[in-house]
Every structure is written in C-alpha cells, then in structure tokens.
Amino acid sequence: MSFALNAQCGLLTGSIITLVNFNFDHVPDRRGTDSQKWQKYADRDVLPLWVADMDFPAPPAVLEALHRRVDHGVFGYARPVKSTVDAFVDALAARYGWNIDPSWLVWLPGIVVGLNVAVEAFAQPGEQVLSCTPVYPPFLTAPKNSGREALAVPLALNRAESRWEVDFDALERAVTPRTKLFLLCHPHNPVARVWRRDELVRLGEFCLRHKIILQSDEIHCDLILDPGLPHVPTALLGPEIAANTVTFMAPSKTYNLPGLGTSIAIISDPKLRAQYVRATAGIVAEVNALGYTACEAAYRDSEPWRQALLAYLRGNGEFLKSVLARELPGVRLEAPLEATYLAWLNVEALGLADPVAHFEKHGIGLSDGAFFGAPKGKYVRLNFGCPRATLEEALRRMKAAVK
Ligand SMILES: Cc1ncc(COP(=O)(O)O)c(C=O)c1O
C-alpha cells in the first residue's frame, strides 16, 4: 500500500509511542466512479463540496481487512461476530467512558433508515416530530415520509458569544401534546456545534417532562475539531435520560465509509428497544458483510488514522477561515467549527437569489441551506473533507464568483 508521508500523528498507547503517517494531500480521481458526489457534475467542471463524504480513501487497516474479507470469497447473509461488537463497545468505553451492553445494539444499514424507523416507531400518523433547524434534511423529511408532522424550531445565533444555541423558550412554545419525538443532531450538522453537558441535560429534561422520546444522532461524534470540547453521549447523562434515548452512531462519516452502509442504534431500555426493533421488521435490510468487516477495522485498528485525519481537517478549517476573513468578506462563518467537516456559510450579503446555482456557474458545488430549513438565499454548506489542493482551488473559484 503506498501511503506517502504527510499528516503526522503521535499516539500514546500505554508506554508505546507510535508515529504514523498518512497522505491526505493525495487527490484521488473519483470521476467516472460510483460516487454520488462526483457524478452530480460528471459533465461539468464543478468541484463537488456538497454531500457529506470525504475525498479520502478509507484507513489502511480498513482496506487491508476488506481485502482479506473479499479473498475469503463467500458473501452470505451476515451477522456481526464478537470481535466486531467488541471493537465498537471498546471504542465507546475508551473515547467517552460509555460502557454499553452488546444487547443494546441494533445494527442498521444506514442512519437515514434508522431515523425513518424511529419516526414510525415512536410517533403515530398525525403526531409531531420536533427538531432544531437548520438541520440535516432527513430530520425534516422523515416525518413527512410516513404522514407524521415535522415541527421545526430554529436554533438561535448568539452573536455576542458567536455560537448557535437551542432556543429553549421557542421549544416550550412549539411543543404540543401531539409531539412524540425529538431528533437531536449531536454534534450538529450543519452548524458544526458540539452540544455541552448543561445544554444536553436541559434537552433531556425537556423531553422527559413532555414525554417525548429523544433520538440522538451522534454520527459525527468522532469528528470533534476543537480538542478542548469533549463529546458527551446524550445517554450518559443519567438513568432517566438514558432510558428515554435512542442513540445513533456509525463509522461512516469518520472513516469515510458511507457507501458500505453500516450503522448502529444503541438503546439501553428494553421496552424502547423492542418497540424500535418491531418497526424495523420486514423493511430494514441486513447490514452487508463488508460493512461489518470495515466497521471492526475502523473502530479497532484505525485510531492513528483518525487522529491524523482530525489534524488535517483542523488545518483545512483554519485555512478556510483565514481565506474567508481575508478575501471573501461576503461569505461569513458565524460560529467556530467545533466539529464535522462541514461549514455553514452565511452568503446573504452577496444578495443572490440562488447562491448554489451562482457558485455552480463558477465551478463550485455546494449544498443549498434551504434544504436544511434555512431561508432561501441565506446559507450554503461547504464540505471541506478533501485534500487541501481541492479546497484551495474551490476557494479560488469562490473568490472569482463573488467578484
Ligand atoms: C446527522 C447525520 N445523520 C445521518 C447521516 C447519514 O447517515 P447514513 O449515510 O448512515 O444514512 C448524515 C450524513 O451526512 C448526517 O449528517
């Protein structure tokens, strides 16, 4: 395997210091592949910085495990083996001090599937599913898919503190006896916010008080960019909140494996878990064999790669911020990039009716903020999970677009 030297990572494992190098500067050619991200602009010179996958190969340990699994050659219906479960359980204990029982796990072929199942499991047709916007679009579409109502409460931008906050007063005003489920994005896509313990406790208590199940989507939890901010799993906040919470996690964002469709719901309460599992019956496909293999190698053997990735993404985030501040005054990042590789950019000052179409004309493919529940024309989301050279070129094009 040819991984040239670039991002350096020193890892302290007991008394052993391992120095590992990975090359995140390498630009893989994804044109002409099955990539959704790149197919969108197959016949145009547009750099795709939209959908949330990264232009990096998976960690070497994952690739090696997949090669071994492919060489085995038999791909029957799969179930996770003990070593796969252990890899995940051990990672949660090591990273977050969360000791989970393997019986709490429900394996899913994707979190969007899981969100839609949660809506069917915990709300009846006509009942309401609450979330805070802007938010990952399936939070808003999942309720509508099955005749439930999506109730969206905007996050508040605290300008003095430069941070997005949950507007608890607005939540209290919005909630009704028909509100049955709260979809929390933690860390939050697209505003890149890591929710703090006190905010989570307040949210957890809000849900308990109103008898609302709390769905905590923590798919981005291993991608914290601010090293001073710990990720606190919602279900760690106490027994009552834990018993009312369904957590989603996955190796897909962190290790760039979304095409392998392997995700996990963690549900400690047996009744809640049974209700959830019932809603999957006959609809939710099995996780595929390669997904389990990749998941195990990701959680067990790819920590040095993850640390190197985080260092690289922090560098990309800093670069993005400095270019915006110095050279793109009409494009504003309103709050720090605490987590994820997604930047939520206010482009209102540019006065464009359709900013995404405008940027596409200039060779950059972004996500439209309106899909996340933001006012049309005000925000775009930029994915900086790519080699620095791609980001540099995208920002060069962006400067030309706003001239
Ligand atoms: C918060 C959140 N949940 C879920 C997903 C997608 O999950 P999956 O690919 O497993 O359906 C994304 C992808 O960007 C996401 O940001």
330 CB-side CA count, 13 A: 16
Could you tell which of 253, 342, 382, 384 is best to mutate to test the pocket of ligand 1, judged by most ligand atoms within 8 Å of the CB? 253
- Cα distances from 29 to residues 50, 142, 194, 388, in angstroms, run 17, 33, 32, 15
Residues 6+ positions from 397 with CB-CB distance below 8 Å? 47, 359, 362, 363, 364
Predicted confidence at residue 5, as pLDDT, reads 37
Two structure tokens written together for 103: 């019986």
Predicted confidence at residue 20, as pLDDT, reads 63
pLDDT tens track for 293-341: 999 999 999 999 999 999 999 999 999 999 999 999 999 999 999 999 9
Percent of the chain beyond pLDDT 90? 94
Describe the crossing of helices 289-301 and 82-96 by its angle, rounded to 10 degrees.
Answer: 40
Describe the crossing of helices 270-280 and 111-122 by its angle, rounded to 10 degrees.
Answer: 110
Distance CA 266, CA 277 (A): 11
Reported residue count of the chain is: 403
**CA 266 to centroid of ligand 1, rounded, Å:** 16
- Cα distances from 285 to residues 107, 182, 282, in angstroms, run 10, 25, 8
- 3-state SS, 47-114, equals EECCCCCCCCCCCHHHHHHHHHHHHHCCCCCCCCCHHHHHHHHHHHHHHHCCCCCHHHEEEECCHHHH
3-state secondary structure of 30: coil
pLDDT band at 21 (very low <50, low <70, confident <90, very high): confident
Segment 177-196 shows an average pLDDT of 98
- Cα distances from 308 to residues 20, 230, 305, 368, 391, in angstroms, run 8, 18, 5, 30, 18
Predicted confidence at residue 65, as pLDDT, reads 98
Which residues face 129 on adjacent strands? Answer: 150, 181
Predicted confidence at residue 108, as pLDDT, reads 98
Cβ–Cβ under 8 Å, residues 47 and 394 = yes
283 CB-side CA count, 13 A: 14
pTM attached to this predicted model: 0.95
Distance CA 342, CA 192 (A): 7
- The pLDDT mean for the chain works out to 95
Tell me which of 16-30, 226-240, 375-389 is least confident.
16-30
Predicted confidence at residue 159, as pLDDT, reads 95
Could you tell which of 50, 111, 119, 220 is best to mutate to test the pocket of ligand 1, judged by most ligand atoms within 8 Å of the CB? 111
Two structure tokens written together for 209: 């008080």
Predicted confidence at residue 7, as pLDDT, reads 47
Pocket of ligand 1 (CB under 6 A): 52, 110-112, 136, 185, 189, 217, 219, 250, 252, 258, 263
Residues 6+ positions from 357 with CB-CB distance below 8 Å? none
pLDDT tens track for 352-396: 999 999 999 999 999 999 999 999 999 999 999 999 999 999 999
Q: Which amino acid is at 119?
A: V
Nearest CA among 15, 2, 21 for reference residue 307: 21
3-state secondary structure of 40: coil
**CA 371 to centroid of ligand 1, rounded, Å:** 14
pLDDT tens track for 249-299: 999 999 999 999 999 999 999 999 999 999 999 999 999 999 999 999 999
**Whether pLDDT at 178 is above 50:** yes
Predicted confidence at residue 4, as pLDDT, reads 38
What DSSP string describes 145-172? Answer: HTTPEEEEEE-EEETTTTEEE--HHHHH
**Whether pLDDT at 17 is above 70:** no
Two structure tokens written together for 312: 């690289």
Of ligand 1's listed atoms, the one at least distance from the Cα of 263 is 10
Tell how strand 342-346 and strand 379-383 pair up: antiparallel
Distance CA 370, CA 393 (A): 25
Of ligand 1's listed atoms, the one at least distance from the Cα of 108 is 10
pLDDT band at 13 (very low <50, low <70, confident <90, very high): very low
CA dihedral 136, 293, 89, 191 (to 10 degrees): -20
**Whether pLDDT at 9 is above 60:** no
Distance CA 140, CA 72 (A): 41
Predicted confidence at residue 76, as pLDDT, reads 96
pLDDT tens track for 28-73: 999 999 999 999 999 999 999 999 999 999 999 999 999 999 999 9
Distance in angstroms between the alpha carbons of the first and the last residue of the chain:
43
